[in-house]
Each structure stands twice: as C-alpha cells, then as structure tokens.
Amino acid sequence: MIVATRLIRDRLRGLLWWSVGMIGLVLLTVAFYPAVKDQGQALNDLLNTLPDAFKSAIGYDARIPLTSPPGYLNARLFAILAPVLALIFAIGVGAQAIGGLEEADRMEPLLANPITRKRLAVERYAATVALLVGLIAVLAAASVVLSAPFGALEGVSIAGLVGACAAVGCLAMFHGSIAFAVGAATGRRGPAIGAATVVAVAGYLIQSLQPLTDLLDPFRFVNPWHWYLQRNMLVDGVPPEAVLGPLGVSAVLLAVGVAIFRRRDLR
C-alpha cells in the first residue's frame, strides 16, 4: 500500500483543514439550537406555511418538529450542509486520484516504477475512500460530542446519528467514485469534477421536486439523494439502500474506471 499511504500523507494537511471546517459547521449548527428551541411553536407554524418543495429541501418532516433536536439537526446539518461539504471533498479527492495526477504530468514518472496501472488506481482509490472515512469520522465525533452541551442530542440515538454520518459518507463516496472513474477514463480533472457535480446537482433537484410532480418518479429509485433523504435517519434509522446503494455503485464505478485506465494510452 505504498502508493495509498503516500497519497494519504500528501492529503493529510488538506484533510486537517476540511476537518476544521466540518467541526466549525457542526459547532455553529448546534450552538444555535437553544435559540431555535426557544422560538418553539412560532417557528413550526411559520414553516407549515412554506411550500412543500422548500420543506422537503430542508428535510422537514411533519411528525418531527423542526424545533426538536432530531428535526433541527436533520434540517440544519444533514439535509444539505454536511453532505454538500462531504461531497465537495470527495469529488475533489476522487478527481485528483487519477485525472488530476495525470493532467499535471505526474502520472508517467510514477508509473515508470515497478507498479501496474491496476495497483496504482486501486491504491489511489483506497486512499480516497480512507480520506473520506477520516472526514466522516470527524463529522460523527463532532456531532456526538458537540451536540450534547447545547441540548441538541435529546431524543437522538447515538447509533442513529453515527449512522446518518455514515450515510453522508456513502453519498459522498458515490459522487467521489464518479469523479474517480471519469478521471481514470479521461486522464483529466475538469471532466471528472464536472460529471460528478452534474450528477449531484441533478440528483438533488430531482429529489427536491419530488413533492411537486410525479414525472420524475422513475428516477427516484436510482437517485442516491432519494436513498439518503427519504427519511429522518436520526429518528427512523438509516435505510439500507442509503449505504448499500452507494457502495454497490461505487464498486461498479471503480471496476469500470480501472478497466478503462488499464487499457488506454496515458495523456
């Protein structure tokens, strides 16, 4: 795992900064919880007047008041911000794994060494996943540790919270794997980031339009955002497809990306 450990070391400083950002996000979110809780019913009434699309976009669930800890954490942290942050990280690292390395002309000196392309690609993918796991571990630890002092952990199971963080990681891995595979196929970073971003935005739009139209229903069941956002995981637990779906698709993307990378010319 020489290639993988080298990549992890190269990215450790970056991961540190991303971790600081993630901790900051969690801290800011939970620190405002006491103020939101005090607003109580007034805020819930206001939210009930909002359009359905907006409510779904912020992870609103009629059974779970937004002023309750699971409602608040889900809406403020897990519905958009934490997954978007994790996605940006994963897409960036995934696009760099092969596409970015090759575009910067750093692939050939590395491949002149006695390693196969397959080994290089698999190790750099493994490192990408390991870095993402690191960031998700920080998210989980920060959520658990920082929520309690602000009373934002009442009614939230630790398992549910950690599970939700894992689901964030899986969603990010799905998109990071797209960036990896497109980078492996093209040897370029731009298309890798572009493809993964388009898929992410399209998936999110389809999911948020779901309450307004059933035209997009056929896409729902293959939409990772649907797997991820379909219910409040802090109360109802993680749906299996939110984990298994991204893992399965990522495995396929890895296999396809590596297969193309092994066969093509370097740029």
Partner 1 sequence: MAAIRTENLTKNFRQIRAVQGLDLTVDTGEVFGYLGPNGAGKTTTIRLLLDFLRPTAGTATVLGGAPADPAVRRRIGFLPADLSVDPRYTTRDLLDFYGALRGGHDPAWVDALLQRFDLDPNRRFGELSTGNRRKLGLIQAFAHRPELLLLDEPTSGLDPLLQAEFARLIREMTSFGATIFLSSHVLPEVEELAGRVGILRQGELIKVATVEDLRAEARARLELRLAEPALEGVFDGVPGVVEARTEGSTIHLVVEGSMDPVIKRAATLPVVRLITHEADLEEVFLSYYAGDGNAR
Which residues sit at the interface with partner 1, rule CB under 8 A? 2-3, 6, 10, 104-106, 108-109, 111-116, 263-266
Those residues whose C-beta lies under 8 Å from the C-beta of residue 175, and which sit 6 or more positions away, are: 87, 90, 91, 94, 196, 199, 200, 224
CA 48 to chain centre: 28
Taking the least distance from each CB to partner 1, the nearer of 115 and 202 is: 115
CB of 264 to partner 1, least distance (A): 8
Rounded CA-CA distance 107/207 in Å is 38
Rg over CA atoms, the chain: 20
| Least separation in angstroms between CB 114 and partner 1 | 4
Nearer to partner 1, 2 or 42 (CB): 2
**Min dist. Cβ of residue 12 to partner 1 (A):** 11
Cβ closer to partner 1: 1 or 158? 1
Q: How many CB atoms lie within 10 A of CB 122?
A: 18
Residue 8 CB, shortest distance to partner 1, in Å, is 13
61 bridge partner residues: 64
Which DSSP category does 34 fall into? Answer: H
- CA 27 from chain centre, in angstroms, equals 19
> Minimum CB separation from partner 1 for residue 130, in Å?
18
49 or 113: CB nearest partner 1 = 113
In eight-state DSSP terms, residue 237 is -
- Residue 114 or 240: which CB sits closer to partner 1? 114
Which residue type does 198 have? V
